[in-house]
Amino acid sequence: MPSIEKRGKNSWRLIVEGGYDATGKRIQYRRTIRVDDEAILKSKRRLQDYLDMELARFRQEIESGQYLKPERVTFAEFVETWKTNYADINLGAYTRKNYMGYIRSRLLPVFGHMEMSKIRTMHIVSFFTSLRTEGRKDGRDKPLATNTLLNIYKTLKSIFDAAERWKVIPSNPMDGVQRPTPDKREKKALKARKKAYTWQEAADLIVALNDEPEHWRLYYLGVLLGGFRRGEMLGVEWHQVDFERGGIHVEKQISMDEQGRPVEAELKTEESAAFVPMPRWYMAELAQYRRHWMQERLLLGPQWRGGDKQYLFHNGFGDKLYPDTPSLHWRRFLSKHNLPRIRLHDLRHTTAMLLREEGVDLKTIQERLRHTRLSTTADLYTHESDLVSREAADRLEKLNPLSRSRSS
């Protein structure tokens, strides 16, 4: 409960209880105020009204995330301010969920008790050094994956960047911290990992999908043919399917909130929202699937949980699927059919690779995948194509000195 304590002749301490710190201890916010107005001091009623007003204002600052403990604000206290004034406004629910997970499990135990102004670059450098060497499995060191280190780095940088912008700290201790990068072992593993299917492998995949339930078959085909992200395909409703124009309007995606529940969310970028033309044969199959979908909807009757929503791919009762669900089914599907292992997201890579091998220009591929920058398309999706590389090498065959000598 908020309270007021008398401190000195003309000073009082305001106390407001907030949330809990990393150890589960209740956080108390304190502010000492002085009253020098003689007119207020002479009247008990006016003094009490003034103190109550200041207490209410102090409480509002805390609840709105505007309060910062003067000079001695700790990392744990500032995180609450950062979350209210930055993360909740600028980050997607799924990103917030991941960031807060790293904060609770990794950052608060190390930095939570430290004052923001006293955290130095070397503290953070030492922290990342310990992360790189932590973890043991079968008696052998097993450091965290670089991707995990990078996510922790991004979380910490977001917090300190905000602290610097808001003048909570005079300089940013993250400025001297190197961004985590893969070591030679990880680079070798990443290079060896299969990132896309060839034409033949894609054809084998489509044949294998004939044995799958209709909704899974059309889901994976949609990802492959349209270059959709998994959450984008989960978020498609029937009103987004344009049978006249022969394609799908991408408007939203299914993500997860901070509690791990599936929710509708904004797309990754502004460029992600677009109309994606699809092959005519796929649209014909979607039309047939829609008739089956409508029949199943009627049969469910009161068991339907989707309300007015009409997701093409749902949990069997009309509600949103978890984003992890198609990824889990994908891995099982590959094992069942003994197909080469690639990530579900790599079907999107495959879209670009197949189009590139058919001679489609990079700009068109960029527009289909809805990338913000052309460099993303070029760097991530085209440098692995064996066919394109082969064609480039074949163009140099004319320089063969033996062929030139024979022709002369």
Of 169, 189, 209, the last residue of a domain is 189
Q: Give the pTM.
A: 0.70
pLDDT at 168: 87
Residue-level length of the chain: 408
| 228 and 362 part of one domain | yes
Q: What is the DSSP letter of 293?
A: H
Distance CA(293)–CA(67), nearest Å, equals 52
Residues 6+ apart with CB under 8 A from 54: 14, 33
Q: Is residue 403 part of a domain?
A: no
Long-range contacts of 330-334 (CB under 8 A, 24+ apart): 330/220, 333/208, 333/212, 333/216, 333/220
pLDDT at 137: 46
175-179, 377-381, 383-387, range with greatest mean pLDDT: 175-179
Distance CA(385)–CA(87), nearest Å, equals 39
| 316 and 386 part of one domain | yes
Q: Is residue 301 part of a domain?
A: yes
| 126 and 230 part of one domain | no
| 113 and 247 part of one domain | no
Domain count, the chain: 3
Q: Is residue 406 part of a domain?
A: no
| 291 and 385 part of one domain | yes
Q: Is residue 172 part of a domain?
A: yes
Q: pLDDT tens across 336-353, in order?
A: 999 999 999 999 889 988
Question: Other C-beta atoms within 10 Å of 287: how many?
Answer: 11
Q: Is residue 68 part of a domain?
A: no
Let me know the angle formed at the C-alpha of 145 by 144 and 149, rounded to the nearest 5 degrees: 75
| 261 and 295 part of one domain | yes
| 180 and 206 part of one domain | no
| 351 and 211 part of one domain | yes
Of 19, 41, 63, the last residue of a domain is 63
Q: Is residue 396 part of a domain?
A: no
Q: Is residue 132 part of a domain?
A: yes
Angle between helix 199-208 and 346-357 (nearest 10) = 130
| 105 and 159 part of one domain | yes
Give the domain extent around 82.
75-189
Picking from 79-83, 172-176, 192-196, which range would have the lowest pLDDT averaged per residue?
Answer: 192-196
| 235 and 168 part of one domain | no
Q: Is residue 341 part of a domain?
A: yes
Distance CA(204)–CA(337), nearest Å, equals 10
Q: What is the DSSP string of 78-142?
A: HHHHHIIIIIHHHS-HHHHHHHHHHIIIIIHHHHTTSBGGG--HHHHHHHHHHHHH--EETTEE-
| 222 and 178 part of one domain | no
| 260 and 376 part of one domain | yes
Confidence of residue 193 (pLDDT cuts 50, 70, 90): confident
Q: pLDDT tens across 73-116, in order?
A: 899 989 999 998 999 888 888 889 999 999 999 999 999 999 99
> In degrees rounded to 5, what are phi and psi of residue 36?
-110, -5
